[in-house]
Amino acid sequence: MTETRTMHGLNSLVFDNSFTRLLPGDRETVNSRRQVHQACYSRVRPTAVARPQLLAWSREVADLLDLDFDPFASNEAAEVFSGNRQLPGMDPFAMCYGGHQFGNWAGQLGDGRAINLGEVINRRGQRWMLQLKGAGATPYSRTADGLAVLRSSVREFLCSEAMFHLGVPTTRALSLVSTGEKVIRDMFYDGNAQYEPGAIVCRVAPSFTRFGNFQIFASRRDEDNLKRLVEYTIRTDFPHLGEPTQDVMNQWFAEVCRTTADLMIHWMRVGFVHGVMNTDNMSILGLTIDYGPYGWLENFDPNWTPNTTDASGRRYRFGQQAQVALWNLAQLGNALVPVFESTEPLQEALDLYSARFNSGSHEMLMQKLGLSAGDEQLDRQLISDLLEVLQLAETDMTIFFRRLADISCEKESQSVAIGHDDALSRLLTDACYVPEQLTESVVQQIVGWIRRYQERVQQQSISDTDRRDRMNRVNPKYVLRNYLAQLAIDKAEQGDPSMIMELLEVLRHPYDEQPDQEHLAAKRPEWARHRAGCSMLSCSS
């Protein structure tokens, strides 16, 4: 593809489809639920829908695909990204993969409600897979219908793009289309199923390959296809490593471990909790993938999980995400043993993950505090004590760090005492959910930590202006709080999708002060504490 290719509409998309061209496919052509062996995918067409309507569109993702047209001017985009119309060059398929779910091997899983349309090559030579989530049943749907509802689709569309603008590696979302049809769902698994509006998201990523794609072949002792998939993945998704020799394979697994560690650091930085970190939800490219029962850490609680299915075990709680990622990498490593000459490089890569996460998370927290490297022992103690202070009362993590940046650390203006420091008063008022928890003892402990923090800043001779700029580049002001997404869902279900694009516009600039949007940076309102969709969520969608 040349750099001079102009940008136009959907018919200009150039498809390459190396996944279906170079890897083994399902020999059975009937779209029936079944076990699929010796295949990376099954060809399957999306299920036609009644009245597709485009609700939301990401111009940034459209730019990645060299698309330059008004998608709302006609129904063309809605027809294509609902699956009703297939463009020339598309080769729709669903992937076959397995996975560990909540720590237990689940066998074959696969794309049960996702259908890949094909791989687009843009004018810069980049490869982008287009995938419809909620486009109908596939051989991997098991007992499900392969569809998605509007509420989960709004959340997926918005969070995919919000994470990108936060600087977190992620799959992307091009479009959100309502289907004009109803889908039955039991949101709470309590026997009260209801009909809900259906919708489809077009997800975009260089690759949707997961740890589970490799695990399924290993579990079936299909070493030939396991090796084929490894070699294809290296050539296609990691071409900078070179041809897949044994040494390159070692480098590849090490890179997967590094990018996964970096992803966990980003999640912890912005307070994101994935909620369902099964191995089939782990991207080989170190991307956030599969936005289901996710949540944003509002009250700083390392034990919080947004997933109702995980409420008792809390396996995927905020504070354990890094350990779960390492466990998942170990399962991937176990699956790769048959195609590696030695297990030593696999173990070295896992050790690399731990070292990278430990050093990277410390560096990340230093950045959140606006500090430069110095006395590491002193800094680690300061950070450790902060994580304890944040749990003395229900404290909003996002707001706390933004308000901390406003507290002066310069000697001539320093006055840390409640009632005398407006910035401290704003921090306590804006970031704390339950005022009654701010007892005299709690306030004294918070003030005590802030005094130590000020002294540390003074030792590094950092001006308030420089520190505030540093902190506000890594501590977002705007995140996709669950209650905000729910408000957009409520309006969309009533026929008004406008809030989806309004939220997207604010989330495009999560680190900026946006005076007209201050209400979207406020802590979660009390009415949303226990409302469905505003706190914890189920896997049902």
Position 532 scores a pLDDT of: 84
Position 416 scores a pLDDT of: 52
| Domain-embedded: residue 539 | no
| Domain-embedded: residue 471 | no
Could you tell me the two tokens for 433? Answer: 């959910």
Quickly tell me which residue has 């390392």 as its tokens. 302
Domain end position, chosen among 212, 231, 259: 212
| Domain-embedded: residue 217 | no
Dist. CA 376–CA 139, nearest whole Å: 54
| Domain-embedded: residue 122 | yes
Dist. CA 48–CA 83, nearest whole Å: 6
| Domain-embedded: residue 60 | yes
Position 418 scores a pLDDT of: 47
Position 537 scores a pLDDT of: 80
DSSP state of 225: H
Dist. CA 7–CA 276, nearest whole Å: 38
Domain end position, chosen among 196, 212, 228: 212
Beta bridge partner(s), residue 432: 395
| Domain-embedded: residue 85 | yes
Position 194 scores a pLDDT of: 92
- Cα angle for residues 227, 232, 234 (degrees, 5° grid): 100
Q: What letter represents residue 258's amino acid? A: R
Q: What is the pLDDT along the chain (541 residues), one digit of tens a residue?
A: 444 444 489 999 999 999 999 999 999 999 999 999 999 999 999 999 999 999 999 999 999 999 999 999 999 999 999 999 999 999 999 999 999 999 999 999 999 999 999 999 999 999 999 999 999 999 999 999 999 999 999 999 999 999 999 999 999 999 999 999 999 998 777 778 899 999 999 999 999 999 999 999 999 999 999 999 999 999 999 999 999 999 999 999 999 999 999 999 999 999 999 999 999 999 999 999 999 999 999 999 999 999 999 999 999 999 999 999 999 999 999 999 999 999 999 999 999 999 999 999 999 999 999 999 888 999 999 999 999 999 999 999 999 999 999 999 987 655 555 445 688 888 999 999 999 999 999 999 999 999 999 999 999 999 999 999 999 999 999 999 999 999 999 999 999 999 999 999 999 999 999 999 999 999 999 999 988 888 778 775 4
Length reported for the chain: 541
| Cα atoms in the 13 Å half-sphere on the side-chain side of 157 | 36
Neighbouring C-beta atoms of residue 153, cutoff 10 Å:
29
Instruction: Cite the active site residues.
Output: 280
Could you tell me the two tokens for 189? Answer: 């698994």
Say what the alpha-carbon torsion angle 157, 10, 168, 390 is, to the nearest 10 degrees.
Answer: -20
Q: Given phi > 0 = left and psi -120 to 50 = alpha, else beta, which region is 290?
A: left
Dist. CA 511–CA 176, nearest whole Å: 25
Structural domain range at position 423? 371-461
Calculate the alpha carbon distances from 216 to 181, 213, 233, 236, 280 in Å.
34, 6, 15, 20, 10
Show Cβ contacts of residue 124 under 8 Å, excluding neighbours closer than 6 positions: 1, 3
Output phi, psi for 168, to 5 deg: -95, 130
Tally of structural domains, the chain = 2
Could you tell me the two tokens for 351? Answer: 């050790």
| Domain-embedded: residue 226 | no
Q: Is 440 helix (H, G, I), strand (E, B) or coil?
A: helix
Domain end position, chosen among 421, 441, 461: 461
| Domain-embedded: residue 538 | no
Write the DSSP assignment of 250-300 as a string of letters: HHHHHHHHHHHHHHHHHHHHHTEE-S---GGG-BTTS-B---SS-EE--B-
Quickly tell me which residue has 């390459």 as its tokens. 16
